[in-house]
Amino acid sequence: MSEHTFATLVSRWYERNARDLPWRVPGVGAWAILVSEVMLQQTPVVRVLPAYEAWLARWPTPAALAADTPAEAIRMWGRLGYPRRAMRLHDCAVAIVERHGGEVPDRLEQLLALPGVGTYTARAVAAFAYGQRHPVVDTNVRRVVCRAVAGEPDAGPATRPADLVATEELLPVEPAAAALASAAFMELGAVVCTARSPRCAACPVESICAWRASGQVAPAGPTRRPQRYAGTDRQVRGLLLAVLREASGPVPRQRLDQVWTDDVQRSRALAGLVTDGLVEPAGGESFRLAGDGPPTPAPALDA
């Protein structure tokens, strides 16, 4: 397969068909792109859009967020899910202010050194905010490259070094064209080359896709299913956080005990929130969101 042909075909398709999303508006800043990438982790676009817009309306710069408390970041996160991401963004904002004068850095190694910023997010910001040539590899991109190049139906559950190499080999040499191709690969996997119902007839690289040529052989193993939520510790954590977000001060444990009847599971979920730094003791068997007041000794968390 010609790398130039592949990237060109997908990029041209993207320029005609890309979804109109606020973080793709020309001239959008690196902070807005960083916020969008963190929010989009394991969360559908439709849920991210209102949260993204509200977040940037309140904290348009890293300095604005850094000047506020972690508790407010958790409150603002609402029910977006995986609330530790709110803490990571707050930690990122503080580091950006302290290390980089309030400007999101443009060097990959500096992005990787920010709290909670991993391989994918750092490369996404470098590419989409600064137009650099980096392989930006998420689940969608891995699936596109695996199918189109290797002829395999599924790339597996986690990004490997080989995925970065395979994707980089498809990028144009010119940085701006490579950044465009990175966005295009991602969009193609999100809306056309989907996991369960790929729309091959609408794909710009159907004619050169190795998986299509192979007859679209189904995966050998079982199809991965979404994780169960009802009745899990994740659900209990969410219920506890909902009470704490709505409170204007410390919440007595007695009030938290009302959100879930299983004492052992509820205590385990609360202890996990404390361990993760999302919740902190407020004295007298009370709790509050992290950073919502002065530190106090931790009470026992046993049921």
* Amino acid in position 49: L
* Amino acid in position 70: P
* Amino acid in position 64: A
Tell me the β-bridge partners of 280: 288
Please say if 37 is a catalytic residue: yes
Backbone torsion region of residue 300, taken as left when φ is above 0, otherwise alpha when ψ lies between -120 and 50, otherwise beta: beta
Distance CA 20, CA 249 (A): 40
Which among 31, 25, 41 has a CA at the least distance from the CA of 114? Answer: 31
Token pair belonging to 105: 């850095």
- In three-state form (DSSP H/G/I as H, E/B as E, the rest C), the secondary structure along 242-287 is HHHHHCCCCEEHHHHHHHCCCHHHHHHHHHHHHHCCCEEECCCCEE
Distance CA 37, CA 116 (A): 12
Tell me the β-bridge partners of 287: 251, 281
Query: How many H-runs (helices) and E-runs (strands) does the chain carry?
Result: 15, 3
Q: Check 37, 152, 206, 280 and give the catalytic one.
A: 37
Q: Are strands 251-252 and 279-281 parallel, antiparallel or unpaired?
A: unpaired
User: How many other C-beta atoms are found inside a 10 Å radius of the C-beta of residue 143?
Assistant: 24
Active site residues: 37
